[in-house]
Chains A and B, each alone.
Chain A
Amino acid sequence: MDRFNLNSQLEHLQSKYVGTGHADTNKFEWMVNQHRDSYASYIGHHSLISYFAVAQNESIARVKFEFVEKMLQPCGLPVPRDE
């Protein structure tokens, strides 16, 4: 197994997951992934979401819905990439 092969194998594996990054990932992209992961995680942990619901005085279902909606553009419009 040569060097390129070894690395490319791992990289190929990593690239199959959406949230992974690479040397050219910028702040915006990284943050978008973080936000999306966060919302997914909140929705997944029921205790968390009920906590948020109580804090905002909203129903659990609405909070959930809003989180899902927010996943679309969690950090606002994308930053143009400078080449």
Chain B
Amino acid sequence: MREAELEREEQRIIRELEKKKKEAEKKAKEATVEQATTQKKRRWDMETPVELKQTSEWSKADDESSVGKSRWDETPRASEDIGMDTPRKRSRWDVTPQVSAKKSRWDETPTHPVAQIGATPVGNLGLLTPTPGHLMPMTPEAQRWEKDLDARNRPLSDEELDAMFPSTGYKILDPPAGYVPIRTPARKLMATPTPMADGFVMLEEDRTQNYDLPAEIPGVGNLPFFKQEDMQHFGKLLEDKDESELSVEELKERKIMRLLLKIKNGTPPMRKTALRQITDKARDFGAGPLFNQILPLLMSQNLEDQERHLLVKVIDRILYKLDALVRPYVHKILVVIEPLLIDEDYFARCEGREIISNLSKAAGLPTMIATMRPDIDHVDEYVRNTTARAFSVVASAHGIPALLPFLKAVCKSKKSWQARHTGIKIVQQIAILMGCAVLPHLKNLVEAIAHGLEDEQQKVRTITALAIAALAEAAAPYGIESFDSVLKPLWTGIRKHRGKGLAAFLKAIGYIIPLMDAEYANYYTKEVMIILIREFQSPDEEMKKIVLKVVKQCAATDGVQPHYIKEEILPEFFKNFWVRRMALDRRNYRQVVETTVELAQKVGVTEIVGRIVEDLKDESEPYRKMVMETVEKVVSQLGAADIDTRLEEVLIDGILYAFQEQTVEDIVMLNGFGTVVNALGLRVKPYLQQITSTILWRLNNKSAKVRQQAADLISRIAVVMKTCGEEKLMGHLGVVLYEYLGEEYPEVLGSILGGLKSIVNVIGMSSMTPPIKDLLPRLTPILKNRHEKVQESCIDLVGRIADRGAEFVSAREWMRICFELLDMLKAHKKGIRRATVNTFGYIAKAIGPQDVLATLLNNLKVQERQNRVCTTVAIAIVAETCAPFTVLPALMNEYRVPELNVQNGVLKSLSFLFEYIGEMGKDYIYAVTPLLEDALMDRDLVHRQTACTTVKHMSLGVFGLGCEDALLHLLNYVWPNIFETSPHVINAVMEAIEGLRVALGPTTVLQYVLQGLFHPARKVREIYWKIYNNLYIGAQDALIPYYPRIEDDERNNYERYELSMWL
């Protein structure tokens, strides 16, 4: 059977190869055609005719499948390469999109606009004003990118071609006889936009990144970068002018400019000093000059997020300093900042809010209102919108009460409906921005806008309803009493209005109903449901979404009875929303699923699942997915206890169908399958055979995604299979997975390993098939795999085996694995490193610590820090699992190696060791004390730092176990280090003292501290007081009896006489 399979596979490969070849031929043809078309456009052909020939040669290589040259194309190599693995390799090339991109770079001209118009737009290299305006790429990023691309794609020069080709066998052709260079200036301009009169010059040196930009700006120093766009703002700095001739104003301007440039483009330290300077001098510079430069900068479209953030920070700081001085510029600032409030980037919006908030604090509420008032009834809706948002920020800065009188006035404005609209919008934005903080003012806010529900302008009515919805959402679950005044207009409104207005009203009702108590909610739901059911049929997408949302909100309230939902809502709901069309739009889909799940909470699993289960076999795949997702959510929330035998059968059948029929492997299907099987538990036993055969079939599929999904499914259902007593089936699956360990796709391999792990976990080491002694040697080479998912699953599995079934494998194999594991300490993912370190512990436990320890100690010599740190952790874990006395002698011996890294590693291991073993440490303190003494006196800072950390862990571990003598001894070595200034060292020292404070009692430490509290040198006093404060915070009460006795003087009485009382 295997042979037959092999043969089939071979056939398939050959077929595919042929197909590929044909494709390649076609491509090559296309390429030549394209070459031909581009040829006409080329202007430079005159000089480099060889190039043409050369390209066509390349494309010819396709059909000949010559090995050397076809490297960059996808044509398969010579036929002897066709082995089992070729097709996969090939298909992997197909999958990766980058490859095709690369290819297109080779055989086609670049795809961006300029390059398409003129084949070789090299002429603009190194020129300040490159392309003519209409060809300019929109963003400077694109410009830069394009420049870079041009530099790489420029035609080869004669010299380069000579160097590339062999001197014999090639001939330089003359240009075609009929060739005439184009003279029409317009067309010429299109092709080669170059102002250079003397024709084309190859600019060799311009291949570097910095084309025409200065590396250093006078007076600013070296910047990490200076972009083309910066020239626009900071160009003045480059002009070489004599500073003494400039006026004061100009000097100021230049000074500000330099500071801003440093802040925007500088290194962090530069930025810091510049920011401090600009803040300190803000009042000297004045608001005008500052904002005249900052605002245009902020307006420039090509500002990157980081730069914007920095400028926002500048504004923030100077606003504090300028305070009222900023008033004349409020409007100017707002014009620039307001658009940030509706930016699509979340952080931009946040920063916009921050500035406006600070601005309104600096300028004061009256100025803000006066400035923004004219914009409230601006003709442009955009302006009104941003103004409303800005006002909501002002309200949050000054508090709602301060703004309330103004808001009331605006919402009642007789002048124009726009003003009312904006006023109500402000309330909506306040609710969105401030959330539950609106609660104290809820009644006032609702009353301020309530009349808007009956406004004669439809837009005002709509926004009012939306504002009420926002308020109710912000106030939930409180504040229903504040909405009393609007209930009636809302409920009468839904009978009067249609379309958009109705949608807004429904939305408001949807948010208010959850605030009501059960009885009212029930009543009002019934009222609104008539309208809702009517609107189920609405073709309007927006209306659909709102209706669904309101149904969900109504169904969630207590007052609504299940039988009411069953009878009134469900039939219409399923008729209108459970249709294929709803699955196509992402947002509708989500909403339908959510609402259905909410309804299921009320009416139970069977009611819902029974209605949709047949649709698992629907012909539309997105619809099946929607059904599956709903079933998954419903079952995971409510369990499968309700599902009867009949439904269970149909459900499993449907799920199997849907799972097998998927064309796009989706996590939804996998989750659904897993959830249902797990929920059914023992009841799934009759179907397991069928499920397993599906999995086996799909494990053999040629699509990697299908295989991966099948393996993932195994790990999901392993537990249930065990519950159903299907060990034999699982054993079979285990063998099959084992056979697939040769899998080439890392994603799939990771899943297969995961599947194996779940099986091993469930059926145990001893009954595992294949036996562990066969399985593990197969895993060892996989540990070398560099793919994160593979690494993680593999180390998990290996660790599991080392933990539970180490005896099945020889010690030698485990040692081999140890060596492989060292490499895994380099992994980027923390989970992998942690699993690795733990595995060291398990292996050491299984085969004894000596060999493992030797390996680890050797690894302390490596250069990489992360690797060493992980090694120290592993040593500590080995020590913990195998008892410290097996490890400590070798470890302490290693400290004698005269190498910084090794010694530090040993100390760090000790530190982790004492942290892990806790009170077991009392037996080892005396053994390591001499070593710690030495380390605490070492010249190297890190020695002392790590030793201090060790002392900390040690002392905390042995608190109350009678090791005070050794600890006091160590305190004497720790203490001189209190004058260290390096942050990490001083931190470690302070922590060591804290630890000793716990173990020795605060009194001992107090005696040390008292020596320096009033030392004549401030530096000494500072650190002593710091230690005192720590002591004081940690053990305030315990210190009371031990404070020194201070005698009264002539002025004050310091004696604490109570303590001398004697009975």
Contact = CB atoms under 8 A, between A and B. Distances in A.
B798 to A, nearest CB: 37
A34 to B, nearest CB: 5
Contact of B1033 (A14, A23, A30, A51): A14
Contacts of A20: 1025, 1028-1029, 1032-1033
Given A25-B1025, A44-B1037, A77 B1063 contact: no
Contact of A79 (B1032, B1039, B1051): B1051
Contacts of A14: 1026, 1029-1030, 1033
A54 interface: yes
B983 interface: yes
A24 B904 CA distance: 38
Interface stretch (B245-253, B367-375, B498-506, B1053-1061): B1053-1061
Interface of A: 1-3, 6-7, 10-11, 13-14, 17, 19-23, 25, 27-28, 30-31, 34-35, 37-38, 41-42, 44, 51-52, 54-56, 75-77, 79
A55 B1057 CA distance: 12
Given A14-B1026, A37-B1036, A52-B1061, 11 more contacts: A10-B1026, A13-B1033, A20-B1025, A20-B1032, A20-B1033, A22-B1025, A23-B1018, A27-B1054, A37-B1039, A51-B1063, A77-B1052
Nearest to B1018: A23
Given A51-B1063, A55-B1061, A31 B1046 contact: yes
Q: Which 5 A-B pairs have the closest CB atoms?
A: A23-B1021, A20-B1029, A14-B1029, A55-B1061, A6-B983
Nearest to B1030: A14
Contact of A17 (B982, B983, B990, B1029): B1029
B163 interface: no
Contacts of B1063: 51, 54-55
Contacts of A55: 1061-1063
A27 B1014 contact: yes
Contacts of B1062: 55
A32 B522 CA distance: 66
B1026 A31 contact: no
A38 to B, nearest CB: 5
Contacts of B1033: 13-14, 17, 20
Contacts of A76: 1051-1053
A11 B1022 CA distance: 11
A37 B1040 contact: yes
A45 to B, nearest CB: 8
A34 B1061 contact: no
B1032 A19 contact: yes
Contacts of B983: 1-3, 6-7
Nearest to A3: B983
A75 B1052 contact: yes
A49 to B, nearest CB: 10
Contact of A23 (B1022, B1046, B1059): B1022
A53 B1059 CA distance: 13
Interface in B1018-1051: 1018, 1021-1022, 1025-1026, 1028-1030, 1032-1033, 1036-1037, 1039-1040, 1043, 1046, 1051
Contacts of B1061: 51-52, 55-56
A19 B1033 CA distance: 9
B987 interface: yes
Nearest to A31: B1054
Nearest to B1014: A27
B981 interface: yes
Contacts of B1056: 34-35, 38
Decide if the interface of chain A is mainly helix, strand, loop or mixed: helix
Contacts of B1043: 34, 38
Contacts of A56: 1061
Contacts of B1014: 27
A38 B1029 CA distance: 16
Contacts of B1032: 17, 19-20
A38 B987 contact: no
B441 to A, nearest CB: 33
Interface in B905-963: none
A18 to B, nearest CB: 10
Contacts of A38: 1040, 1043, 1056, 1058-1059
A54 B983 CA distance: 52
Contact of A41 (B1029, B1030, B1037): B1037
A11 B1040 contact: no
B235 to A, nearest CB: 35
A21 B1040 contact: no
Interface in B961-984: 981-983
15 contacts: A3-B983, A6-B987, A14-B1026, A14-B1030, A17-B1032, A20-B1025, A21-B1028, A21-B1029, A22-B1022, A25-B1013, A44-B1037, A55-B1061, A75-B1052, A75-B1054, A76-B1053
Contacts of B1013: 21, 25, 30
A12 B481 CA distance: 45
A73 B795 CA distance: 67
A63 B1029 CA distance: 30
A23 B1051 CA distance: 23
A63 to B, nearest CB: 9
A66 to B, nearest CB: 10
Contacts of A52: 1058, 1061
Nearest to B1021: A23
A2 B982 CA distance: 9
A75 B981 contact: no
A28 B122 CA distance: 81
Contacts of B1022: 22-23
Nearest to B1063: A55
A76 B1032 CA distance: 23
Contacts of B1028: 20-21
A3 B986 CA distance: 10
Nearest to B1058: A52
B431 to A, nearest CB: 35
B1026 A41 contact: no
A77 B1051 CA distance: 8
A31 B1058 contact: no
Contact of B1052 (A1, A21, A31, A37): A31
Contacts of A25: 1013, 1025
Nearest to A22: B1025
A13 to B, nearest CB: 8
B1020 to A, nearest CB: 9
* Residue among A19, A20, A44, A76 with most chain B CB within 10 A: A20
A30 B1051 CA distance: 16
Contacts of B1053: 75-76
Contacts of A2: 983
A81 B682 CA distance: 82
A23 B1017 CA distance: 9
Nearest to B1043: A34
A51 B1041 CA distance: 15
B1063 to A, nearest CB: 6
Interface string B544-585: 000000000000000000000000000000000000000000
B1021 to A, nearest CB: 4
A21 B1037 contact: no
Interface string B675-706: 00000000000000000000000000000000
Contact of A19 (B990, B1030, B1036): B1036
A5 B1037 CA distance: 30
A22 B1026 CA distance: 7
Contacts of B990: 10
A38 B1044 CA distance: 13
Nearest to A15: B1029
A13 B1039 CA distance: 20
A31 to B, nearest CB: 5
* Residue among B981, B1018, B1030, B1032 with most chain A CB within 10 A: B1032
* Residue among B1021, B1040, B1053 with most chain A CB within 10 A: B1040
B453 to A, nearest CB: 50
